[in-house]
Structure 1
Amino acid sequence: MEWHDRYATKELSPTVVKNYMSSLRNHKLPVFGPKRIGDIKTIQIIRFLDDKSTGETERKDGQPDNLSDDTIRKFYDALCNIFARAYEWKIIKDNPMDGIKKPSVQRIEMQYYSSDDLGDVIEALNKEPLMWRIYYLGAHFGGFRRGELTALEWCHINFDTNEIQVVNNIVGTQKGKPIIKDPKTKSSKASVVMPEWYMQLLKNYHKQWKIEKMKMMEFWEGEDHEYLFHHGTGKALYFTTPTTKWKRIIKKYNLKIIRLHDLRHSMVALLMEEDDVNLPAIQRRARHSSSKITSDIYGHISKKRAKQTASQFDKYAPSDKFVNKSSTTRKI
Structure 2
Amino acid sequence: MNDYKNKSAAGLLSSDDKITLQQWFKTWLYEYRVNDLRPSSLEKYNGIYNNYIKNSEIGVIKLKDLSTSNLQAYYNVLMSKHKKSPNVIKTINKTIKCCLNQAVKETYILFNCSNNVILPKLASKKEVEIFTVEEQQQFIRSLDNHRHRVLFILVFATGLRLGEVTALKWHDINFEKNELSVKRTFKRVTILGKTEGNKTEIIEQPPKTEHSKRTIPIPSNVIIELKKHRKNQLAEKLKNKLIYVDNDLVFPNEIGEPTDPRNLDRSYARALKNAGISHKKFHALRHTYATRLFEADVPLKTVQELLGHSDISITANIYTHVMPKQKIAAVEKINSLFAL
TM-score between both structures, scaled by the size of structure 1: 0.78
CA distance in structure 1 between the aligned counterparts of 2:111 and 2:51, rounded to whole angstroms: 26
CA distance in structure 2 between the aligned counterparts of 1:306 and 1:68, rounded to whole angstroms: 33
In the TM superposition, 1:1-332 aligns within 5 A as 1-7=26-32, 9-29=34-54, 30-53=56-79, 55=80, 57=81, 65-100=82-117, 103-105=120-122, 106-129=124-147, 132-173=148-189, 174=191, 178-222=202-246, 225-274=247-296, 276-303=297-324
* Change beyond 3 A, Cα 1:176–1:292: closer
* Change beyond 3 A, Cα 1:10–1:179: farther
Count of matched residue positions in the alignment of Structure 1 and Structure 2: 296
Q: Map Cα deviations across residues 230-273 of structure 1 (whole Å, 9 max, x no partner).
A: 22111112243322322222233331322111211111111222
CA distance in structure 1 between the aligned counterparts of 2:265 and 2:98, rounded to whole angstroms: 28
* Alpha carbons 1:171, 1:180 under 8 Å: kept: yes
* Alpha carbons 1:87, 1:94 under 8 Å: kept: yes
* Alpha carbons 2:58, 2:71 under 8 Å: kept: no
CA distance in structure 2 between the aligned counterparts of 1:171 and 1:277, rounded to whole angstroms: 31
CA distance in structure 1 between the aligned counterparts of 2:265 and 2:103, rounded to whole angstroms: 36
Letter in 2 for 1:40: L
* Change beyond 3 A, Cα 1:284–1:20: closer
* Alpha carbons 1:153, 1:228 under 8 Å: kept: yes
CA distance in structure 1 between the aligned counterparts of 2:328 and 2:278, rounded to whole angstroms: 23
Q: CA deviation at 1:40?
A: 1.8
* Alpha carbons 1:76, 1:103 under 8 Å: kept: no
CA distance in structure 1 between the aligned counterparts of 2:276 and 2:34, rounded to whole angstroms: 40
Letter in 2 for 1:253: A
CA distance in structure 2 between the aligned counterparts of 1:169 and 1:252, rounded to whole angstroms: 28
Q: Map Cα deviations across residues 108-133 of structure 1 (whole Å, 9 max, x no partner).
A: 2211112232222212333522xx11
Q: CA deviation at 1:147?
A: 1.2
* Alpha carbons 2:163, 2:261 under 8 Å: kept: yes
Letter in 2 for 1:39: D
Which has the bigger relative contact order, CA under 8 A and spacing at least 6? 2
CA distance in structure 1 between the aligned counterparts of 2:223 and 2:107, rounded to whole angstroms: 54
Letter in 1 for 2:135: D
* Change beyond 3 A, Cα 1:44–1:112: same
Find the residue that maps to 2:142 and give its secondary structure: helix
Q: CA deviation at 1:289?
A: 3.7
CA distance in structure 1 between the aligned counterparts of 2:200 and 2:76, rounded to whole angstroms: 40
User: Counterpart of 2:13?
Assistant: none
* Change beyond 3 A, Cα 1:9–1:171: farther
Letter in 1 for 2:132: S
User: Where does the alignment leave 5 or more consecutive residues of structure 1 unmatched?
Assistant: 58-64, 311-332
Q: CA deviation at 1:226?
A: 1.3
* Change beyond 3 A, Cα 1:177–1:115: same
Identical-pair percentage: 23
User: Where does the alignment leave 5 or more consecutive residues of structure 2 unmatched?
Assistant: 1-25, 192-198, 332-340
* Alpha carbons 1:152, 1:168 under 8 Å: kept: yes
* Change beyond 3 A, Cα 1:127–1:69: farther
Structure 1 moving runs of 4+ over 6 Å:
307-310
Question: 284-293 or 42-51: which moved more?
Answer: 284-293
* Alpha carbons 1:114, 1:270 under 8 Å: kept: no
* Alpha carbons 1:157, 1:165 under 8 Å: kept: yes
Letter in 2 for 1:94: F
* Alpha carbons 1:14, 1:172 under 8 Å: kept: no
Question: 252-261 or 96-105: which moved more?
Answer: 96-105
> RMSD of aligned C-alpha atoms?
2.8
CA distance in structure 1 between the aligned counterparts of 2:49 and 2:311, rounded to whole angstroms: 35
TM-score between both structures, scaled by the size of structure 2: 0.76
CA distance in structure 2 between the aligned counterparts of 1:77 and 1:244, rounded to whole angstroms: 32
Q: CA deviation at 1:196?
A: 1.0
CA distance in structure 1 between the aligned counterparts of 2:72 and 2:146, rounded to whole angstroms: 50
Letter in 1 for 2:206: D
